[in-house]
Structure 1
Amino acid sequence: MKLTQDQIDEFNREGFLFIPEAFSPEEVDALREASDEIFAEKREEIWYEKSGVPRTAFACQRYNEAFRLLGRHPRLIEPVEQLFGEKLYMHQFKVNAKAAFAGDVWQWHQDYVTWQNDDGMPEPRAMNISVFLDEVMPINGPLMLIRRSHTHGAIKAGHDTSTTAYPLWTLDNDTVAKLVAEGGIAAPTGKPGGLLIHHGNLVHGSAGNITPYPRKIVYLTLNAVSNAIRTPTRKEWIAHQDFAPIEPVDDDALVRYARSRHREAAE
């Protein structure tokens, strides 16, 4: 999938781009079923909230076929290759869950600061591209993005190891207030299958979910091959160290997988 020039201009200006319903209901159903299976397991790669509900499943593209296909899907790989102008490798793959009634916050942060501090990533030539697995609504903890905050580069952050179960390099309230006064906040919402791309330096966060509506989003962190991490400190399933360029699968790979699963279930 190639971006139009207008979409590229919007991304460069605002720091993000949202494409509604980029994946079909059939494709999303296969991914949602896969995520339910994964979160039912007990694995080292699954991080939990302090309350005990799942927060993040890392590296599930390595042991689940639906997510393996998504991790090589041309609708995700090609736009980022287009923006960076080179081949990519998978720096990180995760499914973030906001459980109904119990999903915790993600504090205000820039992704690149973590990649730089914890993984030794040289430049902000990596970004997240994500797919909504559930409907994302204004009420169930949508991702909030501070428009045009990516233009400020990497901003000084503090290492927050206490607010949630997951340690994060976060920004102070005064900095966030100044950035919001300049750019305002966007919170993309939409049906399952929506696709969101955002710059590695775009400041973002999300509130907790106290509604009955769960919100799961799968994230691919794609890094330019020339920008491979130098000094990783985190486990390899959090910050991957296989720098081989991603070779995309066919565009209909997820559909074919979903239909083969349905045939197997019917036999």
Structure 2
Amino acid sequence: MSHPTLLQKSRPLLAAVLLLGAGAAHAADIRVVSSGGFAQAYKNLAPAYERASGDHLLSEWGPSMGATKNAIPARLARGEQIDVVIMVGEALDKLMQEGRLVPGSKVVLANSPIACAVRHGAPKPDISTTEGLRNAFLKADKVAYSDSASGVYIETQLMNKLQIAPQMQGKAAKIPATPVGEIIAHGQADFGCQQRSELMPVEGIDIVGLLPADVQLMTEFSAALVRDASQPEAGRALLRFLAAPANAGTIEATGLLPAAAASTATSATAH
């Protein structure tokens, strides 16, 4: 495995300096809520932003959808003071349409593939083909998936595509709030699938691979400024920083496909 160079490690800080410069005359407390899919990338980028801007990020976590009290839509519905949200793009668009976010403030950060995992040391099923994935689901005693974007897809579409929905009744469970990897690590499920970026930080599991391309779902993660944010200018500076092409490598290292890198590549090809 290659290790990041000093230049690669410094890129988030360089991006922050270039984006913020002398504009951060007054330090601000920016309240941010991120869903799990982008959480590790955000955690890795946050220190560089704080050092360069002088702002303080007050960070919390919650799913992009679902019925738990920490879900981002539920937080906004009950009037929590939040400046920036980072979440599944489709769910963010819905909040934008409802008037809960500032029009035009959305920035696309990354796309996320779904991966599957087993408990560390357990035999790894071959899920490189649709038939292999189907067999992995059927042979597992207990399967776990999330209550957010990846889990909704698995429950409402993937099971039908694999033609195993009836067989999975009673042994496939949607997990609210808790990361699927933790459920597997603790032995409460022997196979499970979630965003790769959410599985990678969990100890005690082995990622066996991505869903096959013909049944894969890429989930967009985006960020936006909340309507009536207490720190709108600082929030916008944070959005610019998170979306900066210089931070693409840090985002990619967490298992995501950075939108900034794709945008830069497309732009370069067009010229």
State the TM-score, normalizing by the size of structure 2: 0.25
Greater Cα radius of gyration, structure 1 or 2 = 2
State the TM-score, normalizing by the size of structure 1: 0.25
Higher helix share: 2
Structure with more contact order per residue of length (Cα contacts < 8 Å, sep ≥ 6) = 1
